[in-house]
Amino acid sequence: MTASFRLPDLGEGVHEAEILTIPVKSGQAVKEGDIILEIETDKAAVEIPSPFTGTVREILVQIGDKAVVGNVLMTFQTETESTESRHEKPPPLKQQPSFIEEQIQSPVPASPSQSPVPASPSTRRLARELGVDLHKVTPSGSGGVVTKEDVQAHAQAKERPAPPAEAAEIDRPAPTPAAAPTPASLPDFTRWGPVERVPFRSIRRATAAQMTASWALIPHVNCQDNVDITRLEAFRQKHKAELAAVHGRLTMTVFAMKAVATALKNYPRFNASLDLATQEIVIKRYFNIGIAVDSENGLVVPVIRDVDRKSIKELAIEVEETITRVRAGKHRREEMQGGTFTITNAGALGGSHFSAIINYPEVAILGLGQGRMQPAVLTDDRGRHEIVPRLIMPIVLCFDHRVVDGADAIRFLRVVIAALEDPEELLITMI
């Protein structure tokens, strides 16, 4: 049986993707779940698994091609069809294009009901045992694959009562400002010299859209201060080799994440989103902190989950692993979701004070600059002053003035500063 494979709807408004790698060849045998493509959307790189077992018949795309949802990317000669593959319905997609189209020799187009849910045989078996309909399970695997954990979570969720409506958080895409100005036509720059045109797409385009929405919707206010990190840097130098031995990297960002988690618990409105549709402030009771990463493809903000529950050692390892994946283009879309607060550290590049744009729909972002030796005035217990060299780091908190006020922003920043200036304070206040 011949089947054609179409680019599936990857959700979250993703309508097109660029082909990064094609790890299979025409005539190659594949099994259900084998990776047949790697694509890049404006969110992240995504590995696409084969939804069936068979032989690659024809590859209709090349590396670098752009494809839109519904485009046929490959055709396959499938093995004897299984009963469960023919009768399963597709997952609930936003646009509902066929994930595959079976029997393309037939003049009648394939019905969406013939498309299988991407899942391994063992996952399908578990779903049958638990009485779970795979079409209703939200996938978490790369390329929309349903995993065993997804099936188990869905089965458990069916047994729990639904939360009250007022406690539910709805993640909405950033709305487009109604009065957005129409871009003016550009002049012909070639009149004055040679130019190069680079496609404005993928991560760079997504970043532009996110920043435009954030700047248009949120009244940004910032408060700045300096942090004496002399003692913290000595602590970092003392333990960085220990962390490096377990593939971790002890950076100022790691310490800042723990300090911020403590401040968020003390001032929860910084861990919120504003829902204008319902006129409510949605306060999140989990602490997932995004870290801005400079990559070859542009700014990427992966999210480190449950920062309050992890030790500095655990964070040092996880952050290093995450940054490595991002810079290699191997991060997953799931790693970019669910953030409640963002930290951006320009210190490694030599940056000083700067005002960052809030990562909508969050309400605050913390910017760290480079620590530099500066003269500082210290006062002893007797009130005597002394000028000494200290390592001083600039710090800037940008916040949404609709949700929080300046006084709370200063209090929030003081909690962070107190934790960063004293390693003992940082460890004691970690809650």
**Residues with catalytic annotation?**
401
Q: Say if CB 6 and CB 99 are below 8 A apart.
A: yes
Distances (CA, A) of 131 to 113, 126, 127, 154: 19, 8, 6, 10
Provide the token pair at 102: 């079976």
Of 425, 421, 426, residue with least CA distance to 230: 421
Q: Strands 385-400 and 364-368, how do they pair?
A: antiparallel
Q: Which 3-state string (H, E, C) describes the chain?
A: CEEEEECCCCCCCCCEEEEEECCCCCCCEECCCCEEEEEECCCCEEEEECCCCEEEEEECCCCCCEEECCCEEEEEEECCCCHHHHHCCCCCCCCCCCCEEECCCCCCCCCHHHCCCCECHHHHHHHHHHCCCHHHCCCCCHHHCECHHHHHHHHHHHHCCCCCHHHCCCCCCCCCCCCCCCCCCCCCHHHCCCCCCCCCCHHHHHHHHHHHHHHHHCCEEEEEEEEECHHHHHHHHHHHHHHHCCCCCCCHHHHHHHHHHHHHHHCHHHHEEEECCCCEEEECCCCCEEECEEECCEEECCEECCHHHCCHHHHHHHHHHHHHHHHCCCCCHHHHCCCCEEEEECHHHCCCCCCCCCCCCCCEEEEECCCEEEEEEEECCCCCEEEEEEEEEEEEEEEECCCCCHHHHHHHHHHHHHHHHCHHHHHHHCC
Residue 237 one-letter amino acid: Q
Alpha carbons 290 and 185: distance in angstroms, whole number: 36
Coil vs helix vs strand at 71: coil
Residue for token pair 């999140």: 284
